[in-house]
Structure formats: structure tokens, C-alpha cells
Amino acid sequence: KRGEITSKHVTTTDVSKQLFDQDLAIKNLRTTLDRLTQLMATSGLQVQQILQIETEMTRVRGQIDQLEGDQRY
């Protein structure tokens, strides 16, 4: 005689809210990236300001890439 199942537990997770939140975050990050790009086009920026903007653009791009990667898997 084989063992018999005495209990069973099934769980589900609704990921629609998480995907909506990620989509919203990506949209906001893209808006930030657009603003930073516009700021880079401003004449008269000092080297330090350019480096700060580039650093922030890199950070924002990284966040976008991470969120988009999370959505793929």
C-alpha cells in the first residue's frame, strides 16, 4: 500500500499589481531620464555638473534595465 495524501495546500499570487507598479516606475524613470537629457543640452554647464548629470543618468538607466529584466522573468 502506498502513502495517502492527508492534506493539500495550494497558494496563488496575483502579480498584476506588481506588474502595474513596475510599469508605472519605468514610466516615471523614463520621464526622469528625458529631463536629465534636456538638462544636459543646457549651455554653460560646468564639468562637475555634467559629471553629476551623467552619473544620475547611469543610475536611472540601471533601474530601468533592472525593472524591465524583472518583467521578462
pLDDT digit string (tens) for the chain, length 73 residues: 577 777 777 776 666 777 778 999 999 999 999 999 999 999 999 999 999 999 999 999 999 999 999 887 7
To 5 degrees, how large is the angle CA 14–CA 72–CA 31? Answer: 95
- Per-residue confidence (pLDDT) for residue 14, from 0 to 100: 67
Residues in the chain: 73
- Do residues 50 and 26 lie in contact, with contact meaning Cβ atoms separated by under 8 Å? no
**Do 25 and 56 form a contact (C-beta atoms < 8 A)?**
no
What single-letter amino acid sits at 48? Q
DSSP 8-state code for residue 73: -
Give the model's pLDDT for residue 19.
76
CA distance 49 to 40: 9
